[in-house]
């Protein structure tokens, strides 16, 4: 038998029970990090215990949507659950992507419960030098 000693964990568990698991119409949020790494924008989502076939990634215009579903594990008939704290249900996150990101070339990897999306920054958004013309490039108007 397991003993629980963290009152805040118990409060979190009760709140989750009252709100119920996330559904496709009312999904729960998923934690994420977002940062720029070189010429890519990286977004990482924590999705432990979710299989790749339960993850859905969509991009429509500049709206990125990630949905995932954590399903209950199959249990034998003689299993008696004593403690269940891992949330089940649907998780979702929507992000508005800047026009400077190339949504046609997004790469997705899933490893150790972390979904990582790498979005290249478009060429037009990268810094570039502008040449300045000198006096010899000006045209004279004759009259």
Q: What is the pLDDT of residues 68-98, one digit of tens each?
A: 998 887 778 888 878 777 778 888 889 999 8
Ramachandran area for residue 100 (φ above 0: left; ψ -120 to 50: alpha; else beta): alpha
pLDDT of the residue at 2: 40
Q: What is the pLDDT of residues 16-66, one digit of tens each?
A: 555 555 554 555 778 899 999 999 999 999 999 899 999 999 999 889 999
Q: Are 118 and 106 in contact (CB under 8 A)?
A: yes
Q: Please state the domain extents for the chain.
A: 32-73+86-125
pLDDT at 23: 54
Q: Which residues are within 8 A (CB) of 12 and not within 5 positions of it... i.e. 6 or more apart?
A: none
Fold of 32-73+86-125: Immunoglobulin-like (2.60.40)
Q: Is the pTM of this model over 0.75?
A: no
Res 117: pLDDT: 97
Measured CA to CA, the distance from residue 82 to residue 67 in angstroms comes to: 29
More confident residue, 143 or 64: 64
Asked if 118 contacts 103 with a C-beta cutoff of 8 angstroms, the reply is no
Banded pLDDT at 128 (limits 50, 70, 90): confident
What pLDDT is stored for residue 8 in this prediction?
57
């Amino acid at each position: 038998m397991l003993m629980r000693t963290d009152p805040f964990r118990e409060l979190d568990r009760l709140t989750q029970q009252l709100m119920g698991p996330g559904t496709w119409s009312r999904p729960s949020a998923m934690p994420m990090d977002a940062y720029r790494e070189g010429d890519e924008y990286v977004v990482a989502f924590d999705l432990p215990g979710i299989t790749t076939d339960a993850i859905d990634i969509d991009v429509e215009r500049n709206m990125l949507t990630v949905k995932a579903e954590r399903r209950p594990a199959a249990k034998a008939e003689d299993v008696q659950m004593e403690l269940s704290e891992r949330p089940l249900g649907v998780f979702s996150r929507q992000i508005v992507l800047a026009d400077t990101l190339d949504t046609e070339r997004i790469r997705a990897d899933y490893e150790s419960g972390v979904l990582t999306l790498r979005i290249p920054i478009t060429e037009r958004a990268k810094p570039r030098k502008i040449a300045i013309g000198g006096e010899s490039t000006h045209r004279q108007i004759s009259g």
